[in-house]
Structure 1
């Protein structure tokens, strides 16, 4: 199983954040989250975990500049003939708290994979809300995000806490402790999914 890891938005080049918006407020202690930096931290740490497990992966956007959605999809779809999944990492905004996992509309294999991510989030953060849509019997939310709609393999997009929620931003998203826990549950979800295939 090949894991395609995509860090949403751009990173930081020579001290300049590459994506307009996509950042937290500046908190009273002067701290601020730049989402693209957070996304890359999670993706790169997850890649290291997969390497230690000898599990193959591809970094869809290894560069720091912001890559267009069409280019991200094109890069991912080069691997469509292989047994693979696509995972896009983000932090949320717009008011709220907790975790969401998105797939394309309809019932697909992506929905089953998303359940592993939701369950492992609840195991890792039992006191934080899982923002789920249970109307179709699973935890994912269906949405026509470009990268999950146009990729040709099972695809998910995770929204990890809210960068405009001061408690979540300062205590989870900006801390090594919180980031490591986010990597932990993503890793476990991937491993559980692959094991479920091998045992089926």
Structure 2
């Protein structure tokens, strides 16, 4: 059985990381979505676990260690990781025009990481979350991200719309938006496991 690990990113004490009007705080939003994804996967019979139960920020090194410890326990080939975030076009406390979902992998990403990112991207399009942000020809963006780089299993970081775009924030905070973001993760993970783990 594949174990799906869910990382909810930053903590309540991480500076910034909120919409200009302070209605959306990334740490709280990511935790809510992570809980929903975990619950939905478990209801479908999958093994899912959040690696951060704390509300405060857990350093990346510790988050990576938690993932790798689980990989050692159950076998790296039996583990997937998705790290849930909100994007921002600027760190200036102002509203911006960039919108939409993106999936990110490490520069050292495995083929399974890239494929999981593609499943997430495809499902985001199905849910209408593409937005206007330009992305490379590939359906994922490769970056030097510790949570993807320093973990042993396939890993993808998702940026779920922009916390500094008014329309994205309205959608993110609505029940419809939360359901779309949750479904993007759950459907992509389930389909990926079915296709690649049998």
In the superposition, the TM-score normalised over structure 2's length comes to 0.88
Query: Shift of the alpha carbon at 1:57?
Result: 1.5
Query: Shift of the alpha carbon at 1:129?
Result: 3.9
Q: Which residue of 1 aligns with 2:144?
A: 144
Q: Which residue of 1 aligns with 2:92?
A: none
Q: 98, 123, 128: which is aligned to 2:126?
A: 123
Structure 2: give runs of 5+ residues left out of the alignment: 90-95
Distance (Å, rounded) in 2 between the aligned partners of 1:131 and 1:54: 36
Aligned residues: 185
Q: 85, 100, 104: which is aligned to 1:102?
A: 104
Sort the Cα spacing of 1:168 and 1:126 in 2 relative to 1 into closer, same or farther, 3 A: closer
Structure 1: give runs of 5+ residues left out of the alignment: 11-16
Q: Which residue of 2 aligns with 1:183?
A: 182
1:9 to 2:19 alignment: no
Distance (Å, rounded) in 1 between the aligned partners of 2:182 and 2:39: 10
Distance (Å, rounded) in 2 between the aligned partners of 1:51 and 1:198: 17
Q: Which residue of 2 aligns with 1:165?
A: 165
Q: Which residue of 2 aligns with 1:72?
A: 63
Query: Shift of the alpha carbon at 1:130?
Result: 6.2
In the superposition, the TM-score normalised over structure 1's length comes to 0.87
Moved over 6 A (4+): none
1:33 to 2:24 alignment: yes
Give the secondary-structure state (helix, strand or coil) at the position aligned to 2:84: strand
- Which has the larger displacement, 17-26 or 109-118? 17-26
